[in-house]
Amino acid sequence: MSQHPALAYLPNSEKGKIVTAAEAVMLIRDGDTVATGGFVGIGFAEEIAIALEELYLANEDDAPYTQGKPRNLTLVYAAGQGDGKHRGLNHFAHEGLVRRVIGGHWGLAPKLQQLAIANQIEAYNLPQGVITHLFRDIAAHRPAHITRVGIGTFVDPRHGGGKLNARTTEDMVELITLRGEECLLYRTFPINIGIIRATTGDPDGNLTMEKEALTLEALAIAMAAHNSGGIVIAQVERVAESGSLNPRQVKIPGVLVDCVVVAKPEHHWQTFGTQYNPAFSSEIKVRTTSLPEMPMSERKIIARRAAFELKANSVVNLGIGMPEGIASVANEERIIDLITLTAEPGVIGGIPASGIDFGAAINTQAVIDQPYQFDFYDGGGLDAAFLGLAQVDRTGNLNVSKFGPKLAGAGGFINISQNAKEVVFVGTFAAGRQRIAVNDGKLAVVEEAKSRKFVDHVEHVTFSGPFAATRGQRVLYVTERCVFALRPDGLELTEVAPGIDIERDILRLMDFKPLIPREPTLMDARIFRDGPMDLRERLLTIPLDQRFALDEQQNLFFINLERYPLRSKADIDAIARIVEARLAPLGRKVYAIVNYDNFSILPELLDDYSAMVRSLVDRFYTGVSRYTTSGFLRIKLGEALEKRGVAPHIFESAEEARTNWQIEAGGANGGTRLAARQG
């Protein structure tokens, strides 16, 4: 690989590699490919971006015949970098300064976005994780990055190949078949200039990141530029003596770095929203009890319903925007310690920050480089992902990346949604201003939003419903008034909020009619009431599918509902489905023993529950022995069963239930074997 032409002109003085921002950007040449690191405002080299913009505009004024230098740059970046106004990549947004942009997310750089919309630059949107991996592949001189990520979405060459306007014609993505499986091939290319950020640098170019909220892809960019024969420019907030940095803390070795720029303090904030928070850099831990609770709103309702999908010991990703509320609910419900929240730039554990601080987190367990985080995500490491819901169609396709002329971009959405074991999309039912009211545990829509989210066909496929369905991925679409689930033949309406009329508040506001094979269940009533929802108890209880066991030898079926909180019609249906799945294939009836110790059920569900029990008794059981130490439950549940014509007696202990089984079923030595099993 030939060297960058400016390498020979790098400063060589007593300062070593330390230069001003103005001196550093003078090294960027016409037609260079420039890679920038950053996530929103974290890790972005604002001082260097400002200097490049000033250089271009100054040259434009001083040399009208050349119309500014440098020109025709190719800009490459993985995550969105900007504040949605003027900072970040908005400094690159000048016609002539950039010719081509290959970005993971466009929404935070509206000025750059306008150049693409106006067809003034070539514009690509590739998945954020793919671009972080491309940096590593470029460093290793691999010819391409091959992955399944993007199949069926707008990045797939069959659906546009990531091109965002008519001016963009060169193919960067190819569809290939590898071992009989469709994959996407993303082409690599040399990086001439790498622009990164750290906390401390020394005259030799060694960099540490002790006060940065994230480490991101800085190392990958530095290696890619260096191995392409290019230049690496690093922004820092301070300089240390040569040889004084702890080598175990050096994140970027000096052999990869050509220039070190000391930024003005106002251009080196920890995020674009926070000048410095030691909790973001893991220097201190924060008391989570000090975090404010969310007020009741559609945002909280959605976050609360989504939180019911959290499971103990699971690894979870929360997207930006609406999904951020799930972290607040998890903290209110005291379940943060039972799950591991992550964010795509490299955060493992803790509580993610929100808004313009998004990407940072407090009380983290670890912060790893962004390319490794996407290795983990792409390989199926996420148990669940909670992502924003913007536009959905009848097949379950979802669009969050392009709306008319507006280019938001996919960011990490494609990587995350395609590879998580379960994905939950969260958002309001319609777009725009709406007003709701919550009274007596019921939801009322006071004013409807004007724009529909549930449409016949999304204009940009950021998530492919059919592709997810073929792989058996569990997908939910959660709104404040209802919940949909992805089925092989489209969206199914599965839950409705109390107080919501299906025809008036849901179906008439959709461009298509979803599947409604049976009466949708009511969303859990606790979601719409103030006070805790007892999610900690729910997460700490044994999973429902692990509460059923069949002893073939004795023809005994054990149902362990100890400490199980039955809170919705969906819970009742789930019990019925599990029993049917276990017993229907047997072709015979069994004797059931049910443990109701510390079992709890909402009073309004007793009738539905007893009806379900009666159905199971008629179809699958030769007899049933039930027991609980709770006298109150014995009375209430017994009364409900008696109304359904089911034997109402509930024993006080497991021993009494076992004795009753021996009497009714005549099981020789059955009590001894059962005692051993239950013991």
- Annotated catalytic residues are 344
Q: Integer distance in angstroms from the first to the last C-alpha of the chain?
A: 70
Helices (H), 308-447: 324-332, 370-378, 413-419
CA dihedral 232, 238, 243, 247 (to 10 degrees): -70
Euclidean distance between CA atoms 98 and 101, whole angstroms: 7
CB 421 within 8 A of CB 473: yes
Return the closest-CA partner of residue 301 out of 326, 319, 283: 326
Distance CA 474, CA 547 (A): 22
Task: Say how far apart CA 443 and CA 498 lie, in whole Å.
Answer: 6
Q: In the chain, how many H helices and how many E strands?
A: 16, 42
Cis peptide before 517 (omega within 30 of 0): no
| Look-up of token digits 């940072």 | 360
Angle formed by the axes of helices 606-620 and 569-583, nearest 10°: 10
CB 79 within 8 Å of CB 128: yes
Is residue 98 within 8 A of residue 123, CB to CB? The reply is no
Using only C-alpha atoms, what is the Rg of the chain?
29
Contact between 71 and 30 (Cβ < 8 Å): yes
Identify the H or E element spanning 550. strand 548-551
Is the Cβ–Cβ distance between 271 and 280 less than 8 Å?
yes
